[in-house]
Structure 1
Amino acid sequence: MSLAFDLSQAAPAIVAALPKTPLLGLTRVELAEALGAVGVPERERKMRVAQLWHWIYFQGAQSFDVMLNVSKVLRATLADHYTLARPDVVTEQVSKDGTRKWLVRLAPNKLDRTAGGLGSEVEIVYIPENDRGTLCISSQVGCTLSCAFCHTGTQKLVRNLSSAEIVAQLVVARDRLGDYPGLTAPTDGLIPGEGSRAVSNIVFMGMGEPLYNFDAVREAVGVISDGDGLTVSRRRITVSTAGVVPQIGPLGRDAGPMLAISLHAVRDDLRDVLVPLNKKYPLAELLAACRDYPGASNARRITFEYVMLKGINDSAAEARELVRLLKGIPAKINLIPFNPWPGTTYECSDWEAIESFSDIVFNAGYASPVRTPRGRDILAACGQLKSETEKLRARAQWAVDDEA
């Protein structure tokens, strides 16, 4: 049985005062600028940035008061101008398999199309296993790609997330999972054992196309992988793209995460339907960019994601063509049983077809794990994410209209 908790509170129709500037999610350069803005001398900033970095990202501090190696005067100044507040957790759902999904509300942004002062919402999914915990985070509010089989793609793009908003998703998850010193982990689901971080892996596979928000994703990867703070290795950070070819090389050079490609078809005519971005960047261009991806090797293989759709892309001939297309690319293939969602016309391939497809790929020398569906009962599985943004905003607008 899955559980759901509504953690929202009624938002005011009018925001009375401008909120304080959040420090959570900022880069070292941005923290230095924030310190300079409140009068911290330049000669002190590097030291002060290191202190704040440790408290914000390693300790998970939610108040300046706990920063005991920072002077009382500076703590008071910081508290007057800045905040360490997190995005609001509106709902939390816990699947029967331990998967968690949080709907979080971001601080209002000038680009948000909101009702009654509400900020945009995104969804975050945590997938626990015995030896690791994977957090699936979002890079945009909504999506522009309209992939035919993907529920997330049915929500229109609202805006890009800032790098700080991307980083904040990891911080929220660590708060909720007790993954900071002094916090207690929940006991109602599977959390990795003592001695390991609850969140050990990050995948940019939530809402949005990460490479259409390249600068923010690059900065967020830098903050998340910093060894003095959140300390998630770049080898444990995977950025998934539907194939924004011009940004694949720069991603490897400038950010250095693992790369995943949402492939899903081995012919341009079919991929044009399933992943419409293919019309702009067809398979030949996409695979050439993968062959040139900086750092790709047998130790740093590119993951190709392939959703299994009954009677659409799951034949033995397509498995053999997939092997041919990937020749020369250090790769593994994730076969993803299709996760149904309300209104879809697609069906998941029969298990026999998935096994046959996997055997062909495996026998050609490629790892071809079949991804175990997780969180289906709370619509948290791959391709199922779609924020409750529209419903919540409609609810808020009705309230405003009723009061008018």
Structure 2
Amino acid sequence: MKKTIVIVLFLASIGAGIAYILVSSAKMAEARPQEPETPYPYHTEEVTFRNDSAGITLAGTLTLSDKKGSFPAVVLITGSGPQNRNEEVLGHKPFLVIADYLTRRGFAVLRYDDRGVGKSTGKFNNATTADVTTDAESAVAYLKTRQEINSGKIGLAGHSEGGLVAAIAASRTKDIGFIISLAGPGAKGIDVITLQSELIARAGGVDEAGIALIKRANRETTEIIRSTPDTAGLRAKLMAYTKANLHDYPLKMMYPGQSKEDFFKFQVNMLCSPWYRYAFEIEPASYFKKVKCPVLALNGSKDLQVDASQNLPPILKAVREGGNANVTVKELPGLNHLFQPCKTGHPNEYGKIRETFSPTALAAMADWLAATIAAPAPG
């Protein structure tokens, strides 16, 4: 299934590709060799659970060994933007691959459709990071009702924004036994977003004049956002700003055939959304400092969306400053934001890469889990 994804390149999103421009005329790779085939050598179950605080029902898939036992469990949390339980993007299904790998290693795995997506109810459009955190917490509460699950060994593994969701949830409850941040932000939201736009622009071939314009747009739109709390007023100011100042914005940052008017209208609408206003000011360190359970943070060295050198050190520092020594951070060479081996890390490569999720990254997760939260031997 082909999926059109639009990138916003001044003050872009920290999502797992949903809010990004993937400008590529090349045909996507057809084969996804890591995608598991049925019949699976483990139990698979369609489940639903309630988020009573939001008044919604979330639907997902639970996989676990078909042997009797009390299994540790991992809840997978998607990145920003409405995504299904497999975090499907450009034909890749990374959460399906992760769930299959971890289940074969003896862990139960729950992955679920975001609110308003697939079989989950509710609306995603106005949801903030705080809102979707309650969805993840509801998933943990559901697993605690299952007799096959070891209620003391339920953890969260979140990709991109999902890594921050995991930290927020773990910062306010003792019910979470561990967290894994997969390319999750550690620096302040606006700093992640600003660097992201520059890195993607450079990798996309934008010249220095274009980079300078993008950086200036970032600074000036940031100031407008900070000084304008009223949404209607913000939308008017941002539209006026784009018309007056961004007539030379790099064409390489736009979808082929898209007018500048439509491009900037899309961006302004995103910048005025509740999600963005929340993400703009968020300080991940304030949550990681309060996390007392074991923490694993992984990033690819070629991740242009959530830069490893910008985001891994703050996670390590914050967790340790909070008095938690059980934290491991790893930068995995040559991997992009989706943990694929890549050339540049630019999002326009995602769909052309055959591999869905690096075996190195899968092993890093499973080995850490086995050492930290022991699973019963499968089989």
TM-score surpassing 0.5?
no
TM-score (norm 2): 0.34
TM-score (norm 1): 0.33
